[in-house]
Structure formats: structure tokens, C-alpha cells
């Protein structure tokens, strides 16, 4: 069975994958240490084209933190996210490029070598399944790009901290307002201000952010 193929050099990779990439049906996942491969002009065209064609498939990209090291990387990842890909950053070093298409075909990249970088393309269910499950595990525990990029700490005035404590206690607005000796309306105004300060769209999100930032009122 010829379900394992070794590819030598980027050029061969491109010609071989062009057709594959345009036939993605459901899912395209990719784990990589950096943006080296696909940020090159020729490759970009292929990969970009695939995304732009706006299939209904899901695209997931998982990178090491080092992919964000330079401005170019951040830009590129931002652009990917804008085009609908889910982008996450893992806590550790990842392989040099690993791709799984529709859970039936995997591509793994090796190290640069004389005569061109080596790639392995396989459709063996055992291999693809194993790689996919490992990817899934790594993905599951990685951080969303936007969360990763946000690290700032908004400073909150005394009032907001009181409100924060009340919210953290789990009380309803009514109880909290009574305890703080203010009207329901004012309390909610405070809450809205707090959400704005934390740049949160929902109370849950605000709580999460507060927790992450170690704010405790």
C-alpha cells in the first residue's frame, strides 16, 4: 500500500498539496512552530487561496508562542483569524509543521536538509488518527490568540472594586445593591462600567478576566 509518501523540498510539496488543499471538505488543522513555510510568497498564495475560497470547513491553526515573536508573525496570525480561522497558541514547542486534512490525510514536516526540507504525507488511518488525537489534546489546552495577546491590567477605582466583590459573592443585583446601600439602577450602572473597564461583553467574561488578572475587589 502506498499510503505513505515522502516529499522533498517545498516546490514538490506545493505541487502535491495544491490539489489536496482545495479539496478540503470539513476540516483543516495545522500545528506549527513558526510561520516559515506558509508565509513564503508562493505558499501563501496556495494557502490564502484555500481560505479565501471560503469553504464551509473549519480551519484550526496552532502555533508556538515564538510565532508571535516578531511583528510580521502577529500580523499574519491576525489576518488568519480575520479570515475565519481559529488560531491558538500552545504553551510549548510544536512540531515543524503538522497538517491534518479532514481527518484522513496528514502531512508532517521534518527539518531542513540538503536537497530541500523533507515532508511526509500519509493517509494511513492509524497514523492520521494518532496524530489527530494528539493535535486535539494539544489544541484543547492551548490559548486563544486574542486571549493570549491581551495581558493588560485595567486599574479600577474603589467603587468598581466594591462592585467586583459583590459580583464575586454571587449575590443577585437586588441583594448586592441593598447591601451596598444604593439603588438597583445605580448598581447596574456600576456593573456596566466595570464590564466596560474589563472590556467584557458578558458578566461571565468579566468574571473570568477578573479572575485571570487576580482581581479580587
Stretch that binds a second copy, among 8-16, 49-57, 73-81, 127-135 (CB under 8 A): 127-135
**Site string (26-65) toward a second copy, x via CB under 8 A:** -----x-x--------------------------------
Question: Using the rule CB under 8 A, is 160 a contact of a second copy?
Answer: no
Tell me the three-class secondary structure of the chain, residue by residue.
CCCEEEEECHHHHHHHHHHHHCCCCCEEEEEECCCCCCCCHHHHHHHHHHHHCCCCCEEEEEECHHHHCCHHHHHHHHHHHHCCCEEEECCCCCCCCEEEECCCEEEEECCCCCCCCEEEEECCHHHHHHHHHHHHHHHHCCEEHHHHHCCCCCCCCHHHHHHHHHHHHCCCHHHHHHHHCCCHHHHHHHHHHHHHHCCCCCHHHHHHHHHHCCCCC
Give the span between the Cα atoms of 89 and 52, in whole angstroms: 23
192 binds DNA (CB under 7 A): yes
Which residue in 174, 179, 199, 212 binds DNA (CB under 7 A)?
A: 174
Stretch that binds DNA, among 65-73, 84-92, 145-153, 184-192 (CB under 7 A): 184-192
Out of a second copy, DNA, none, what residue 129 binds, judged by CB under 5 to 8 A for its kind, is a second copy
Q: Applying CB under 8 A, what is the total number of residues that bind a second copy?
A: 66
Residue choice 71, 82, 140, 157 for contact with a second copy (CB under 8 A): 140
Query: Residue 48 or 139: which CB sits closer to a second copy?
Result: 139
Q: Which does 186 bind (CB under 5 to 8 A by kind): DNA, a second copy, none?
A: DNA
What does 119 interact with, of a second copy, DNA, none (CB < 5 to 8 A by kind)? a second copy
The whole-angstrom separation of Cα 62 and Cα 26 is 17
Residue choice 11, 133, 137, 184 for contact with DNA (CB under 7 A): 184
- Choose the stretch contacting DNA; rule: CB under 7 A; options: 76-84, 111-119, 123-131, 178-186: 178-186
Strands 98-101 and 105-109: what pairing? antiparallel
**Length in residues, the chain:** 217
Residues forming contacts to DNA in the complex (CB under 7 A) are 172-174, 182-186, 188-189, 191-192, 195, 202-203
Amino acid at each position: 500500500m502506498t499510503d505513505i509518501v515522502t516529499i522533498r523540498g517545498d516546490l514538490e510539496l506545493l505541487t502535491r498539496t495544491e490539489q489536496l488543499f482545495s479539496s478540503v471538505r470539513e476540516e483543516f488543522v495545522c500545528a506549527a512552530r513558526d510561520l516559515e513555510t506558509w508565509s513564503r510568497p508562493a505558499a501563501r498564495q496556495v494557502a490564502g487561496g484555500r481560505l479565501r475560497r471560503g469553504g464551509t470547513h473549519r480551519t484550526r491553526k496552532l502555533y508556538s508562542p515564538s510565532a508571535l515573536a516578531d511583528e510580521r508573525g502577529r500580523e499574519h496570525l491576525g489576518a488568519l483569524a480575520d479570515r475565519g480561522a481559529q488560531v491558538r497558541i500552545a504553551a510549548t514547542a510544536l512540531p515543524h509543521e503538522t497538517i491534518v486534512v479532514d481527518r484522513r490525510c496528514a502531512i508532517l514536516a521534518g527539518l531542513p536538509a540538503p536537497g530541500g526540507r523533507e515532508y511526509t504525507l500519509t493517509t494511513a488511518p492509524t497514523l492520521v488518527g494518532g496524530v489527530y488525537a494528539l493535535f486535539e489534546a494539544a489544541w484543547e489546552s492551548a490559548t486563544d490568540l486574542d486571549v493570549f495577546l491581551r495581558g493588560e491590567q485595567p486599574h479600577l477605582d474603589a467603587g468598581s472594586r466594591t462592585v467586583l466583590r459583590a459580583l464575586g459573592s454571587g449575590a443577585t443585583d437586588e441583594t448586592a445593591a441593598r447591601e451596598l446601600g444604593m439603588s438597583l439602577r445605580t448598581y447596574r450602572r456600576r456593573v456596566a462600567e466595570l464590564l466596560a473597564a474589563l472590556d467584557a461583553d458578558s458578566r461571565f467574561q468579566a468574571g473570568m478576566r477578573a479572575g485571570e488578572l487576580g482581581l479580587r475587589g
